[in-house]
Structure 1
Amino acid sequence: MASFVIEGGTKLSGELTPQGAKNEALQILCAVLLTPEKVTINKVPDIRDVNKLIELLSDMNVEVKYLGNESYEFCAKDVDIDYLETEEFRKKASSLRGSIMILGPLLARFGKGKISKPGGDKIGRRRLDTHFIGFQKLGARFLYEAETGMYHIDASQLKGCYMLLDEASVTGTANILMAAVMAEGKTTIYNAACEPYLQQLSRMLNAMGAKISGVGSNLLTIEGVESLSGTEHTMLPDMIEIGSFIGLAAMTQSEITIKDCRIDQLGLIPETFKRLGIQMEFRGDDIFIPSQDRYEIETFIDGSIMTIADAIWPGLTPDLLSIVLVVATQAKGTVLVHQKMFESRLFFVDKLIDMGAQIILCDPHRATVIGLNRQQKLKGIRMTSPDIRAGQALLIAALSAEGRSIIDNVEQIDRGYQNIDKRLNALGANIERID
């Protein structure tokens, strides 16, 4: 287990370029299984979850070639389906939640699949019903073995159909979409997720020969094709990392430029941080954050306390609420943070309270933050990262705090942020990694 030792209270300065989008990468990498031809993917983030998925694909006999400069070439010409029967596959797949998305491509191309109950962040229940109900509607039959935690799926005769998803699940939509692209006939998915990740996946599949219309909306129509070809795809910059850097700049009173942000794909993220009082300038496709002594949370028009909540796209992504919460601790004003999707994601606030933040955890989904307006600095403590996003929020808190902080279990942060300690140290941070 690794730890970060952070000396806080230092202003940072310089430029940061966001990594490729983690959540997009987990979908795009699984899509290489849909074709026996070569697929080149650019801007692949060098993070733990992505690297584990690439390793899993390699174990399935997918040819993987690193081309340099964050680019990979994949060729799934001779996929070893029998590998799914091994204990090694069960262990590796169960340690990575993104592994669930190999199912759609496997069902589409090989007519069968097998997966163990996947792991991931401990942020509450994350059910898989949407995935399996969608597969069933396409004609798949599945069996869950409670003793081994394995799902067995027979999809030898997938046929297109109409389906109304019970929730606009991003991974569920992606999985069903990949299963449907080679199903017989037409598939219509209503209440589909429409995040930029899904739009990117749809564009990649269309470039491979799929026939998907309605991209960017919650109504997708897929005309099944017999086969898909190779392609080249470049991933978006990671919107969660961009939001994290905006919050980092404000908390540490730093002047930072975030490069190549694809601002047109960020949705409400910039506006949400502006509501917290954070100044920013758009310079082409870069975001410039000036050093601010103070920032003040807006109120609603009638003067009531601001509420910031997550929502399906184009609402605010839930992955940034941990960052919003920690940034609010040093603002002037009060905000209610409402995390609707996961019931355990706000439990990390006890660490912020120990650091001196004024937070009332109302229930598992809501926390009221009373900003300190920099009248009192957070103080360094020892803490443990519970998940990717909370871990990054705690790192931001530690960088702004007075004194030394230690964050244990930083492998959780490594799952989503590429070489974060080295990149921030290049801007003047003082972060030491201890194994």
Structure 2
Amino acid sequence: MSAATSPSERRVSARIGAISESATLAVDAKAKALKAAGRPVIGFGAGEPDFPTPGYIVDAAVEACRNPKYHRYTPAGGLPELKAAIAEKTLRDSGYQVDASQILVTNGGKQAIYEAFAAILDPGDEVIVPAPYWTTYPESIRLAGGVPVEVVADETTGYRVSVEQLEAARTERTKVVLFVSPSNPTGAVYSEADAKAIGEWALEHGLWVLTDEIYEHLVYGTAKFTSLPALVPALRDKCIVVNGVAKTYAMTGWRVGWVIGPTDVVKAATNLQSHATSNVSNVAQVAALAAVSGNLDAVAEMRTAFDRRRQTIVRMLNEIDGVLCPEPEGAFYAYPSVKALLGKEIRGKRPATSVELAALILDEAEVAVVPGEAFGTPGYLRLSYALGDEDLVEGVSRLQKLLGEAKD
């Protein structure tokens, strides 16, 4: 080891230095900075609903602020009443019966994902990660000492991986398979038959499954959300579910998620959280309690708006020569292929990658999108359609104008 790289002189640890910045948050921050500087930027980067948190949830938080009970430390694993309500909500929405002792309340979905992986992975354990993937998954796996193994699906299969692909990626070091439906960034939703086949394959080979259900209520058309441990009950002893209130109830900033899993794993993750952050903000937990205990009327209204925007964005993107956008069945993202545009001349430049194309789009059209490299699949762009209808149409119209100029 040279003096330049000796531990005593390294300012940032190799483990943390290897982490990439969240690409989606970076794009959103840049778009907001440009907008604050007076540029008419339209941002398709952030994955958050443009709706306010429903009023009854906010009211519950206001009341909690006035209650001295919530001015103090509470159990690191979550308010008992919230854990009980999450168990009831899980049975109601997923048909999956769990006990409150199987639940850990976390500071958002990201902490849930990291702590779940940290609780079950040892150094060198492999996790099969279907790609395109949300940017945080592989980083959480690496932070926990694991090794992400990517299995790529493209637009020809609607971005859904097959059991055959998963089996081809399995090795003696494979411990976990990640399953996400509906998916960020593609909006892909697995059919009940395909989801069951993946669950039974994992069960057959003794693998753990981590399934992210954060978009469970955002499905469209004939697509249907299915919870893997409810679909394959024998899997429940080696299945971890992560979820939260962020997307369903327009509560991204409240930071409340949760882990559901076997009691020993949840206890281990709770021990970790007790040293990392202690309890989630009590006010946010009370707001989450109101959310999961209430009805889904507000969710239905948001879903109707997202469905309308989904159809608009897919139609408009597919009108652009060189862009191919499958219709997403869930979440609120479109994930078009732009591979046919790479290398073509657009306003004097020839972007060779989707990173370069995204930069060109921001500079020339003042539209912020996230390049596919952030999700493990170069040659694509992710656009969130969780923004107002007018901005959506204006933003994609700018793309149509700019990308319509592409020439050989």
**TM score, norm. by length of structure 2:** 0.29
**TM score, norm. by length of structure 1:** 0.28
Name the structure with the higher helix share. Answer: 2
